[in-house]
Structure 1
Amino acid sequence: MQRIDIGIIGGGASGLMAAVAAADSVKGRPCEIIIFEKKDRVGKKLLATGNGKCNLTNLSFSVEKPGLFYRSRNPELLASFFARFGAEDTLRQFERLGMLVTDRNGYVYPLSGQAATVLDTLRFALEERKVHIVTECRVDRAVHRGEGRNDGFYVQTPDESYFCRRLILSCGSAAGEKNADLGGYELAKGFGHTLITPLPALVQLRCAGNFWKGLAGVRTEAGILLTIEGKGKKEEYEEQGELQLTDYGISGIPVFQLSRFASAALSQGRKVKATIDFLPAFRGKDDDWQALIKKKCRDCRQRSMEVLFNGLVNKKIIQTMWKLNGLHGEDTVSSETFPAVEKVFFMLRNFEVTVTASNPFANAQVCAGGVPLTEVDSQMESRCCPGLYLAGELLDVDGRCGGYNLQWAWTSGYLAGQAAALSIKTERKKYD
């Protein structure tokens, strides 16, 4: 059995940051640190973030109002974490490790524009600090045993057993996994933690209707209002941005921002609808919109539908609206067709669809749910099991698109790694 100071289960963003922070927090006698990673290399999810460019944090974040950027059952607890290690701390940390960054309107990327730079920076730091990494290593069992000098955690892998004086769970979530792996959550439950059911977030939404194939591939600026009803209450959430239409429903950044609410509502059996405004430039300008409709109908009287609607939105959208209202492109604008024309104009600003499901974990960028924040203290230490620390997606925190989820990984990982190492330092003084 190998005896080490700190074991870290999970070599994703939070686990890698935890290892660097732990190694840097104890001077003199270094900590022996090991990372257990189930995949063939650490940080694989990092390589896919930001479309391969890695939006590693966002300077627009407000520490005082974390609820605007993150979702959690206890968002008020986030402020204290980010106050101790926030976006500016992340920039200083990576600069200290030798990485250059660039700021694009608050969105921070490595100067190289490559996510691999972020991963390599962390890997090089771990090599320099002599952190041991074991890949293709699934942890089958982890238990807490002993007291005093013998207090610690027994970690069992298929090939070896380890005794770790401190243990950090940074196992990530099932997001992005073809076969949803909930092993990290099970390890946490084994130490006495409860679990808010993990659900896909930052993910595409599937919608009812047999017309989606005709819309597939369209990208357009749009406003989206998500309406949730049932269980005696009604909720509404709104976003705007580039909408992507697929052969099964809706995608794109504004959809991702709303998806965690849809996933949660659908899991509770509630009804979810999305109302799409394909012309958000007219938002708050109803008089201008109505004037435009009157002018176009007047100018295009006895002309074709193709002429009437030409240039308003993507042609695939117009063609779908015609079909849904019994019109054809060659039909002319007349008193007979005007009721249907009015419906098309209405639908361009109020296209209502029923959301039937979110895509599965494999398509999600993050997960909603996890271990409640109330079950860890300000140092990320478990309130259920002293000496155990939790970090990253395993906890009930999911952020908006734009670098916020990685910032949570850096914050929680840094605090957990630092606290674990400092507790060992304190223990050494006690027994030396």
Structure 2
Amino acid sequence: MQKKEIGIIGGGASGLMAAIAAADSMKGRPGGIVLLEKKDRVGKKLLATGNGKCNLTNLSFSVENPGCYYRSRNPELLSAFFARFGVEDTLRQFERLGMLVTDKNGYVYPLSGQAATVLDTLRFALEERNIRTITECRVEHAEYRREGRNTGFYIQARGESYIFRRLILACGSTAGEKTEDMGGYELARSFGHSLIRPLPALVQLRCAGSFWKGLAGVRCDAGIRLIVEGKKGSHATGKEYSEQGELQLTDYGISGIPVFQLSRFASAALAEGCRVKAFLDFLPGFCGKEEIWNSLIEKKIRACHGRSMEVLFNGLVNKKIIQTVWKLNGLHGEDLVSSGTLVSVKKVFAMLRRFEVTVTASNPFANAQVCAGGVPLTEVDSQLRSRCCQDLYLAGELLDVDGRCGGYNLQWAWTSGYLAGRAAGLSL
């Protein structure tokens, strides 16, 4: 039985930051921290963030209004956490650890442009602080015992037994996992915590329709409006959400940053049995300029009277989109613009601005960048200490916090990891 000061379960971004913060708050007591990671190496997810460049935070974040950047059942509680360790603190921490950063329109990356730089910086910090890291180490049993001088957390993992005076759960979520591994959530539950159902977020959306294969591969700027309908009594019914950015069309539905930003709302509404519709505007530059748009349509129709649909719609949007919308309205490229086709022509123009699709599902956890849901923030205090179990701390995605794309989820990992690690260390 190995007896140590602090155990950290989970070697992702929040777990690594927690280990470093704990060690720095326990100066003069080296070797008292053990980090257990189920995968074959720590920080594997970090290597994939920001398309391999690791967007580690965002300068546009405002601590006064975290609800603009994060989703949670209790977003009002987030300000206190970020006020104690925010974006500037993250930048100073990585500077202290020896890493240089650069920003592109507020998006902060390592100067090298490689996610591996961030992971190496954290790994070197672990080594310098004599923090023991054990990989391929899945926790098999965990419990809290009050046994005099041996009071603490009894952990069994990979054939070894440990006693930790303090325990930090930084197990992450099921996002990006090939199997729906609920181990971290079950650990939290075993210590008395409740759970808001985890759902995929920052993920692609599947939509009804047999035309998607013809649109696969298209990327275009678009406005997207998500509308939730149906199911009486659902808090999601009647809500609308909108985003704009580069839309990616796939053979099953919609993807891209604006879709990711909206996906957690779609996942939650579908889980409640609501209907979800998405309205795509393939010409978002005309949003709020309806008079100009209508005038353009009339001019185009007059100029192209007696000419083919190909001539009429040439250059408006991607050809695959036009061809799909023609077919949905019973037209073909060689058909002529005439009084007989005018109604269908106007329907095509209207559909380019309001292409309605029904969202049937989000892609599974394996495709998601993060999860919505988790342990409620009301079950931890301002130090990320558990209100349900003595000497337990929680950090990262295990908690009910999910951010927008753009470095916000990593910022939550740094914030929660640092606060939990520092508090655990100081408590000793």
Into which bin does the TM-score normalised by the smaller protein fall? over 0.9
- Structure-to-structure mapping, 1:288-307, within 5 angstroms: 288-307=292-311
One-letter amino acid of the counterpart of residue 83, structure 1: A
Query: How far does residue 344 in structure 1 lie from its aligned partner after superposition?
Result: 0.3
For residues 247 and 265 of structure 1, the distance between their equivalents in structure 2, rounded to whole angstroms, comes to 23
CA contact (8 A) 2:5 2:165 kept: yes
Moved over 3 A (4+): none
Unaligned residue ranges in structure 1 (runs of 5+): 425-432
For residues 31 and 81 of structure 1, the distance between their equivalents in structure 2, rounded to whole angstroms, comes to 28
Query: How far does residue 231 in structure 1 lie from its aligned partner after superposition?
Result: 3.2
For residues 192 and 47 of structure 1, the distance between their equivalents in structure 2, rounded to whole angstroms, comes to 33
Residue in 1 aligned with 2:342? 338
Residue in 1 aligned with 2:385? 381
For residues 177 and 78 of structure 2, the distance between their equivalents in structure 1, rounded to whole angstroms, comes to 27
| Partner SS state of residue 372, structure 2 | strand
Residue in 2 aligned with 1:155? 155
Query: How far does residue 110 in structure 1 lie from its aligned partner after superposition?
Result: 0.3
CA contact (8 A) 2:31 2:130 kept: no
User: After superposition, what is the alpha-carbon deviation per residue over 1:38-92, rounded to whole angstroms, capped at 9, x for unaligned?
Assistant: 0000000000000000000001001000000000000000000000000110000
For residues 91 and 31 of structure 2, the distance between their equivalents in structure 1, rounded to whole angstroms, comes to 25
Residue in 2 aligned with 1:15? 15
Residue in 2 aligned with 1:312? 316
For residues 153 and 313 of structure 2, the distance between their equivalents in structure 1, rounded to whole angstroms, comes to 68
TM-score when scaled to structure 2? 0.98
Percent identity between the two aligned chains: 79
CA contact (8 A) 1:13 1:409 kept: yes
CA contact (8 A) 1:22 1:417 kept: yes
Query: How far does residue 349 in structure 1 lie from its aligned partner after superposition?
Result: 0.2
Query: How far does residue 312 in structure 1 lie from its aligned partner after superposition?
Result: 0.4
Count of residues paired in the alignment: 424
For residues 44 and 321 of structure 1, the distance between their equivalents in structure 2, rounded to whole angstroms, comes to 42
Unaligned residue ranges in structure 2 (runs of 5+): none
Do residues 3 (structure 1) and 3 (structure 2) align? Answer: yes
For residues 9 and 377 of structure 1, the distance between their equivalents in structure 2, rounded to whole angstroms, comes to 19
| Partner SS state of residue 177, structure 2 | coil
| Partner SS state of residue 234, structure 1 | coil
Do residues 33 (structure 1) and 33 (structure 2) align? Answer: yes
Residue in 2 aligned with 1:427? none
For residues 180 and 227 of structure 1, the distance between their equivalents in structure 2, rounded to whole angstroms, comes to 28
For residues 27 and 6 of structure 1, the distance between their equivalents in structure 2, rounded to whole angstroms, comes to 14
For residues 194 and 380 of structure 1, the distance between their equivalents in structure 2, rounded to whole angstroms, comes to 15
User: After superposition, what is the alpha-carbon deviation per residue over 1:156-212, rounded to whole angstroms, capped at 9, x for unaligned?
Assistant: 113201000100000000000011110000000000000000000000000000000
CA contact (8 A) 1:22 1:31 kept: no
For residues 376 and 16 of structure 1, the distance between their equivalents in structure 2, rounded to whole angstroms, comes to 20
Greater mean deviation of Cα atoms: 230-239 or 357-366:
230-239
Do residues 365 (structure 1) and 369 (structure 2) align? Answer: yes
Residue in 1 aligned with 2:141? 141
For residues 337 and 230 of structure 1, the distance between their equivalents in structure 2, rounded to whole angstroms, comes to 36
| Partner SS state of residue 185, structure 2 | helix
For residues 148 and 18 of structure 1, the distance between their equivalents in structure 2, rounded to whole angstroms, comes to 27
Query: How far does residue 148 in structure 1 lie from its aligned partner after superposition?
Result: 5.3
One-letter amino acid of the counterpart of residue 320, structure 1: T
CA contact (8 A) 2:383 2:419 kept: yes
For residues 368 and 295 of structure 1, the distance between their equivalents in structure 2, rounded to whole angstroms, comes to 47
For residues 157 and 97 of structure 1, the distance between their equivalents in structure 2, rounded to whole angstroms, comes to 30
Residue in 1 aligned with 2:424? 420
Query: How far does residue 386 in structure 1 lie from its aligned partner after superposition?
Result: 1.2
What's the RMSD between the two structures over aligned residues? 0.8
